[in-house]
Structure 1
Amino acid sequence: MQDLTLVMAQLDPLVGDIPGNAERAIEAVREARIEHGADVVVFPELFLSGYPPEDLLLRPSMETRLREARARMASKVARDVLVIIGYPGRREGQGYNLAGALYNGEWLDEYAKQALPNYQVFDERRYFATGNRSLVLEHKGVRLGLLICEDLWDGAPVRAACEAGADVLITLNASPYHQDKPAERLRLLEQRAAEVERPVVYVNTIGGQDELVFDGGSACVDAGGELRVLAPYWQAGLMPVQFVREADRWVPREGEIEPSVDPEESLYCALVTGLRDYVNKSGFEGVVLGLSGGIDSALSLAIAVDALGAQRVQAVMMPYHYTADISRQDAAEQARLLGVHYQVLPIEPMVEAFMETLADTFAGTERDTTEENLQSRCRGVLLMAISNKKGLMVLSTGNKSEMAVGYATLYGDMVGGYNAIKDVYKSWVYRLARWRNTQSPAIPERVIERPPSAELAPDQKDTDSLPDYDVLDAILVRYIEGDMSAEAIIDAGFEREDVYRVVRLVDRNEYKRRQAAVGVRVTPRGFGRDRRYPIVNGWQPGE
């Protein structure tokens, strides 16, 4: 019986590290050959450059470095293994998103991506020209049709590859994660395979890159669309797929299928992966964050410890007059639970010194949010000083609901290099905190149960100035993710006053969000690459 072993190399490249990524590929092929007897090894989209390389693609030396890396691969990659790997390239003056085929020291051919996405976080038309031909490679009796990511979603390149004679379709991908994306991706994969009656091998990248995070989940479905192999989510590695010849068709045997996980676990893993890769790939020693005794900083601390280890995380409680005793107690208890370095740095002397300096300037004015913001900014100064002195990145801790409506202080609690929960709505913050506690004690229960408060004024609660978070989040999802108008949201059953207050706050606070720390994107419409609104504008909310 004829058979063929294809190995999906679900790995985490470093953007811009072309020589390093080439070495990772060389080692992966060697391991795939030794451990799995690989006949074919497939890497993700743009693996040699890392994804997305963005304007690094405009650097004149990019093509030179890629040629050198491909030459090294040709001389070092194990023999008798077909390697299919993604990289950018300039051909006849045009840039392309390519999949190259290497065998026995020779680059056989290249496939250029035909469907270039230009929506949400994608802007490939800025860098690449459109490919115009299918590529089918015959290897050990199997005709392999190459595709790259969006080609599968578009559909036309899939049909073209089949018309060109492909027995098996191979797609190289760098498909970013957002909530519900893994299931959506599998449904598409199964649908396309069933449409063209061909097995499809889907190799996805993994790891964090700036605000994007990639979940892996490389897979193979048979010609009927049935899932035969599914690599683990959130775990780098090599996953073999065994093909056998049955009659006149190549059929993937059933292999390992990673069990499905609940939505909370998937989202939590995304946040951990995004933070870990951002800190490690950027070369920081660790992180420092303000631990207030509230839910947002509590969840952020748990994520940081799971991403980096307790020894690389420092938590600082910075109390003022309005900080409740239970906040101090809960912060200390969580620091003890997680084993992080913990300090208490009172801010009363700093705030009072500022207020004394500003006394004449503020004479004749009423106390307002200015004094509240001053407390937050004193805390930001302390965190940044620790960051400078110890080489620790400041982790800011505002959630998406707060960032949407501007419930945060510029140069105060917004200071930081990264925000693990920037794209997590407040209602999901609670869900994640509860889920994390099912794994091991991490967040004191009282932190989860208490009404949320910034504690910048006596008896302050978030609901003093915002709708209940369940209502707020439901409005925000419709306005931000769904682009619904204020009137349409009202028609969906929400109070007019709440809706207009929320959408005006969202529109008014674009200037704040532009100055916020980068954070991992986990919704279909994160603040950043895929929601680009003008700061200054005369748009009025309404229909």
Structure 2
Amino acid sequence: MTDTIRIAFAQINPVVGDVAGNVARIRQARAQATEQGAELVICGELTLSGYPPEDLVLKNSFLARIREGVEELAAETADGGPALLVGAPWLDGGKRHNAVLLLDGGRIAAVRYKHHLPNYGVFDEVRVFEPGPCPGPMAFRGLRLGVMICEDMWFPDVTECLEESGAEMLVVVNGSPFETDKSGMRQNHAVARVTESGLPLLYVNQVGGQDELVFDGASFALDARCRPILQMPAWVEAVETATWTRGENGWTTESTLAPPLHPLEDIYQAMMLGLRDYVTKNRFPGVLLGLSGGIDSALSAAVAVDALGADKVHCVMMPSPYTSQESLDDAEAVARMLGTRYDIINIEPAMGAFGQMLSGLFAGTEPGITEENLQSRSRGITLMAISNKFGHMVLSTGNKSEMSTGYATLYGDMCGGYSVLKDVYKTTVFDLCRWRNQAKPAGALGPDGLVMPDRVITKPPSAELKPDQRDQDSLPPYEVLDAILSHLIEDELGVSDVVAKGFEEALVRRVWRMLDLAEYKRRQAPPGVKITSRAFGRDRRYPITNAFTRNA
């Protein structure tokens, strides 16, 4: 039995599929922990493969490479340094498991499998993994560790099994994606498990972006009386070692608490990290976006500069005959404030060419939304041509309010490889712009001070596809629209339930129909950073062919 132990939390940013790179990242974390005097280094869920590995798990060659990486790391622990607790997909008797492995003394000392496999929202682990039995503790240098994997903490049975089997400390390895208010949910479940078991709980989460998911780290620990005693910073890779001592009230350590972030900074950091990792992990040289002089493209540009640096962001203004001088001035001002490259390409010749090309077929018809969309599609073609020529990824700039209602043009403003605003409602866009003009997030590469003129935030939003156009010609006021959409999407309420909250029935029904009818557009949209509990994509899967929408 031991009375003191030094444990390192390793918030690592793995790359899915990069087994060699992830081994190197774990090795580096172990080296840092060695310098800090650690005896055990705890990494996140599936760190060896990156999370989520999805169908890579079905490839036996991939699992064989994972085993090689584990054995390589295990052999290195023969040096007398700290042991490793690492997550990896693991093939055992022909079954694929989400596993956590204790590597110590030059060997694989213990293996445990995830018992509860999430099968909701963005998670479909049941599809690729087999659940393991309820685990018992791991024996480690005189200490019995109650190790569980992410979802296992959300249910009481695994903790009960560990506590009854003699665990002295709960350790949870996680790949828990960011959502607004998610940290509170994690803390609530952790408190419940500590209350039930009377054991301290150590929670280690990964950090980084993977496609539409972004992981915030923010690892923490609670003592046996449910008091927060360790809180690591969010959004950064870090290795932090603490000395745990056995006392009258169980295991505890000195309190080290990183301060919480403002909710808007959490969202902004999520967008920055999601974009940075998508661009860098996919080896794009930078991003390209259409800068319209409006608020969405201005915020997208600011996030891109903060995430990547101004030298990796190329802004293009593409005026049409309906583009106002105010928009031209505002777009130029945004690019100047952010320090990006800025070009102007007039799309009027493309509009004229398309108009002439289609004039015979369109003869006798009235100009309308088709001609408006030709403007947007001319811009999409222009951006894609520049992207093809120079390699920068096109960043689309639409927000969640627009994507919800179909207020977007396929192959036009929806063109792009990634979207940072895809899960951000318009009202939150306004809040984020005001916040960023007053504060600079930690780690941002952009300028101090203002990143856009105040007029970009205060002027009425407009797509400027026809004279004097305003968004609210086609949509309800955003504060009303976003409230209705939040009830329909995040809360999954029906029309009558939303009406009962004080909204006009005809308006709710109109928004509901727009939401469901636009599904075919959203299926063709680029991925974007998940911010809410119900992001478009894997989080929310509705049929495109859907008679319920038309008949209800």
TM-score by structure 2 length?
0.96
* Whole-Å separation in 2 of the counterparts to 1:180 and 1:541: 34
SS class of match (1:370): helix
| Match in the other structure for 1:428 | 428
* Whole-Å separation in 2 of the counterparts to 1:179 and 1:71: 38
| 1:542 shift after superposition | 8.3
Alignment of 1:329-408 (within 5 A): 329-408=329-408
Alignment of 1:54-73 (within 5 A): 54-73=54-73
| Match in the other structure for 2:511 | 502
| Match in the other structure for 2:443 | none
* Whole-Å separation in 2 of the counterparts to 1:314 and 1:161: 54
Question: Do structure 1's residue 270 and structure 2's residue 279 form an aligned pair?
Answer: no
4+ long deviations beyond 4 Å: none
Tell me how large the CA RMSD over aligned residues is.
Answer: 1.2
| 1:70 shift after superposition | 1.3
Residue by residue, what CA displacement relative to the aligned partner does 1:359-396 show, whole Å, maximum 9, x if unpaired?
11110000110010000000011100110111100000
Whether the 8 Å CA contact 2:396–2:414 is kept in 1: the answer is yes
* Whole-Å separation in 1 of the counterparts to 2:184 and 2:134: 30
Contiguous gaps of at least 5 residues in structure 1: none
| 1:459 shift after superposition | 0.4
| 1:146 shift after superposition | 0.6
| 1:356 shift after superposition | 1.1
Alignment of 1:19-58 (within 5 A): 19-34=20-35, 36-58=36-58
Alignment of 1:60-459 (within 5 A): 60-77=60-77, 78-247=79-248, 250-439=250-439, 440-459=449-468
Whether the 8 Å CA contact 2:207–2:236 is kept in 1: the answer is yes
* Whole-Å separation in 2 of the counterparts to 1:79 and 1:25: 17
* Whole-Å separation in 1 of the counterparts to 2:224 and 2:272: 35
Aligned-residue identity in percent: 48
Q: Which amino acid aligns with 2:92?
A: R
* Whole-Å separation in 1 of the counterparts to 2:54 and 2:38: 32
Whether the 8 Å CA contact 1:220–1:241 is kept in 2: the answer is no
Residue by residue, what CA displacement relative to the aligned partner does 1:419-439 show, whole Å, maximum 9, x if unpaired?
011000001000101110012
| 1:143 shift after superposition | 1.4
Contiguous gaps of at least 5 residues in structure 2: 440-448
Whether the 8 Å CA contact 2:517–2:549 is kept in 1: the answer is no
Q: Which amino acid aligns with 1:441?
A: L
Whether the 8 Å CA contact 1:347–1:379 is kept in 2: the answer is yes
Whether the 8 Å CA contact 1:148–1:173 is kept in 2: the answer is yes
Residue by residue, what CA displacement relative to the aligned partner does 1:185-212 show, whole Å, maximum 9, x if unpaired?
1222223212211000000000000000
Whether the 8 Å CA contact 2:71–2:108 is kept in 1: the answer is no
Q: Which amino acid aligns with 1:445?
A: D
* Whole-Å separation in 2 of the counterparts to 1:256 and 1:191: 22
SS class of match (2:548): coil
Q: Which amino acid aligns with 2:322?
A: Y
SS class of match (2:396): coil
Indicate the larger mover: 484-493 or 71-80: 71-80
Whether the 8 Å CA contact 1:377–1:409 is kept in 2: the answer is yes
Q: Which amino acid aligns with 1:103?
A: D
Match of 2:549 among 524, 536, 540: 540
| 1:60 shift after superposition | 2.1
* Whole-Å separation in 2 of the counterparts to 1:244 and 1:304: 45
Question: Do structure 1's residue 514 and structure 2's residue 523 form an aligned pair?
Answer: yes
Residue by residue, what CA displacement relative to the aligned partner does 1:205-234 show, whole Å, maximum 9, x if unpaired?
000000000000101100011100011000
* Whole-Å separation in 2 of the counterparts to 1:239 and 1:156: 30
| 1:66 shift after superposition | 1.1
* Whole-Å separation in 2 of the counterparts to 1:293 and 1:133: 56
SS class of match (1:527): coil
* Whole-Å separation in 2 of the counterparts to 1:48 and 1:365: 60
SS class of match (1:522): coil
* Whole-Å separation in 2 of the counterparts to 1:252 and 1:376: 60
* Whole-Å separation in 2 of the counterparts to 1:182 and 1:54: 24
| Match in the other structure for 1:491 | 500
Whether the 8 Å CA contact 1:241–1:252 is kept in 2: the answer is no
SS class of match (1:122): coil
Indicate the larger mover: 115-124 or 180-189: 180-189
Match of 1:478 among 476, 481, 487: 487
Question: Do structure 1's residue 465 and structure 2's residue 474 form an aligned pair?
Answer: yes
* Whole-Å separation in 2 of the counterparts to 1:243 and 1:537: 57
| Match in the other structure for 2:536 | 527
* Whole-Å separation in 2 of the counterparts to 1:40 and 1:71: 17
| 1:241 shift after superposition | 2.6
